[in-house]
Structure 1
Amino acid sequence: MSVVDEAVTAINEKVGGSFDGSVKFVIEGEGAVMLDDAGARAADEPAEVTLTADADTFRQILDGDLNPTSAFMTGRLSIDGDMGQAMKLAGALS
């Protein structure tokens, strides 16, 4: 299973279609995952906020081993766009 497929599955299990907004996860060298009110899917579309990190960082965040805020503060996760949406997502993934 690809990292993108793993991310889609994990995000749908944690958030599903209950997220009000749009987020794009860019997994460096792997692809992108979109999350909106329809759930998560492998896609690369415009979003209110884009989160970018390597595959290992995304795995750690999705597994609950790394706090998204800590990842951002240490430079392992970059955020471009609506910081409010990013913070809402961090709460939903916790």
Structure 2
Amino acid sequence: MTLQEITAKMKENAAQKSSFGSTVKFATDQGVIFVDGNANPPVVSNDDKDADCTIKMDFSDFADLIGGKLDGMTAFMTGKLKIEGDMGVAMKLQSILR
């Protein structure tokens, strides 16, 4: 999957969800995906903005996470996923990712 394909998939999933009151940025070596959870439904873009929570991963690991091949908790515990900011926000994201 490319960054654009993942962004499109996340936009599709987010369009069916309610706001969650925070912003999140997924920062990869191939670009960023920004989720504005203050909007209803949440808005997904590739804008590189400040966020309440930033999740940093290599793109290949991020693609595996989105594709369901990598569990978020496993990625975090093994150091493949790093969280900066409000970790509670990261916990709310499962439904938007898949």
TM-score w.r.t. length of structure 1: 0.84
Mapped pair 1:43 → 2:47: yes
Deviation of 1:75 (Å): 0.6
Q: RMSD value over aligned CA atoms?
A: 1.9
Deviation per CA, 1:44-88: give whole Å up to 9, x if none: 001000001111111111111111111111111110000100011
CA–CA separation in structure 2 for the residues paired with 1:47 and 1:3: 22
User: Distance in 1 between the 2:19 and 2:50 partners?
Assistant: 16
Separation in structure 2 between the aligned mates of residue 6 and residue 72 of structure 1, nearest angstrom: 23
Deviation, 1:43, is 0.9
Contact 1:14 1:93 in 2 (8 A): yes
Instruction: Report percent identity of matched pairs.
Output: 34
Name the structure with the higher helix share.
Answer: 1
Checking the alignment, whether the CA contact within 8 Å between 2:53 and 2:87 is kept in structure 1 is yes
What do residues 4-60 of structure 1 show as CA deviations (whole Å, max 9, x unaligned)? 2122112122333634221001011x1111001342111100100000111111111
- Match for 1:13: what amino acid? E
Residue aligning to 1:63 = 67
* Residue ranges of structure 2 left out of the alignment (5+ in a row): none
